Amino acid sequence: MSIAIVQFGGSNCDLDVLHVLKDVVGADANLVWYKDADLSDYEGAVIPGGFSYGDYLRSGAIASRTPIMDSVRRMAEDGKPILGICNGFQILTESGLLDGALATNRYPKFRCEWTYLRVENTNTPFTSGFKEGQIVRIPIAHKDGNYYINDLGLENLEENNQVAFRYVDEKGNATGEANPNGSRNNIAGISNSEGNVVGLMPHPERASEDILGSADGLAMFKSMVEHC
Amino acid sequence: MRYSAEVTVKLKAGMLDPEGTTIKRALEHLGYFPDSVRSAKEYLIELEAESSDMARDQIDQMCQKLIANPIIHDYTIDLREIE
């Protein structure tokens, strides 16, 4: 059981994820540089946050076209759990492993703040440790987190229960005010149709220890390790 | 033959364009009141190809594979032969 944390030039949340997986959860996890394009020995992968390739062209676009993503795709097809956090979510949508795209925030500002999320689907390797409808407090830090998908795609996501997390207020209501970036239907994270690939804009690794102000994100990594 | 292409990538009609909206608001502060402002990105690409059709085909592939995201973008290619 070993988890790969994929590093690109410009990744900057890789060490945080490594710390949570190794030191907090006690899992076997390794950093893997994107040029080492073979992940076949790993049981799961995390694509961490950051600004891969400076987010030139579009957030996540260049990283999504690197050979290591072919290896991530094979892992996904094998049913292994793949998690994309923030830039990792952008890379997974750009690579077509997840539906939709991340556009610039409705108010075009970099937003770094705590958000409340409602857990919508507990049938993924990353959300099975939550209760359905549970409200968690996890921070965001992004400028391009406005989740977009066309009407038909949105309908499919909702019908197939692929929305993993939604931005809500403290009481759990998905209001416009609780939506930090203009995402469709307040979507903060989704899964693929099989459920083994999950991407989200908020940073669970920044909410995995009480000393950070919240440990609500820890369940994601614990769940992942149980499924690896 | 050598070709130069100006590739313009813009958000699909109806998609929110915060950059364009912000620029429109700034123009209004300066006393201009355009009906709308939309932003776009332009890429200048030079390449060798046997014909303009082949050059256009290559650039079209570049757009589809990397330069544009078909979920949110439309693009146009303005191609011309150069020395």
**In Å, how far is A35's CA from the nearest CA of chain B?**
19
Is this complex scored with an ipTM above 0.90?
Answer: no
CA distances from A28 to A88, A126, A205, A227 (A): 20, 17, 16, 13
A43 is catalytic: no
The pLDDT of residue A61 is: 96
Least CB-CB distance to A101: which of B65, B67, B72? B72
Q: How far apart are CA A46 and CA A206, in angstroms?
A: 14
* Whole-number pLDDT of residue A64: 96
Is the pLDDT at A1 greater than 70, yes or no? no
Beta carbons of A58 and B65 less than 8 Å apart: no
pLDDT digits (tens, 9 = 90+) for A36-89: 889 999 999 999 999 999 999 999 999 999 999 999 999 999 999 999 999 999
DSSP for chain B, please give it.
-EEEEEEEEEEPTTS--HHHHHHHHHHHHTT---S----EEEEEEEEE-SSHHHHHHHHHHHIIIII--TTTEEEEEEEEEE-
- Whether B79 and B55 have beta carbons less than 8 Å apart is answered as yes
Predicted confidence at residue A148, as pLDDT, reads: 97
Joined tokens for residue A71: 């290896």
pTM, two decimals, is 0.93
pLDDT, tens digit, 9 for 90 and up, residues A102-113: 999 998 899 999
pLDDT tens for chain B, 83 residues long, are 999 999 999 999 989 899 999 999 999 999 999 999 999 999 999 999 999 999 999 999 999 999 999 999 999 999 999 97
Chain position carrying tokens 């094998």: A78
Residue whose pair of structure tokens reads 């009480």 in the numeric block: A210
Which listed residue (A13, A43, A86, A142) is catalytic? A86
> Is A181 within 8 Å of A146 (Cβ atoms)?
yes
| A13 annotated active-site | no
Neighbours of A75 (CB within 10 A): 22
pLDDT averaged over every residue in chain A:
96
Per-residue DSSP letter, A194 = T
**Could you report the per-residue pLDDT of A154-164, keeping only the tens digit for each?**
999 999 999 99
Active site (annotated) includes residue A86: yes
Contact list in A for residue B11 (CB cut-off 8 A) is 103
Place A32 in a pLDDT band, splitting at 50, 70 and 90.
very high
- Going by their DSSP bridges, the two strands A111-119 and A135-142 should be labelled as antiparallel
Is B71 within 8 Å of A148 when comparing Cβ atoms? Answer: yes
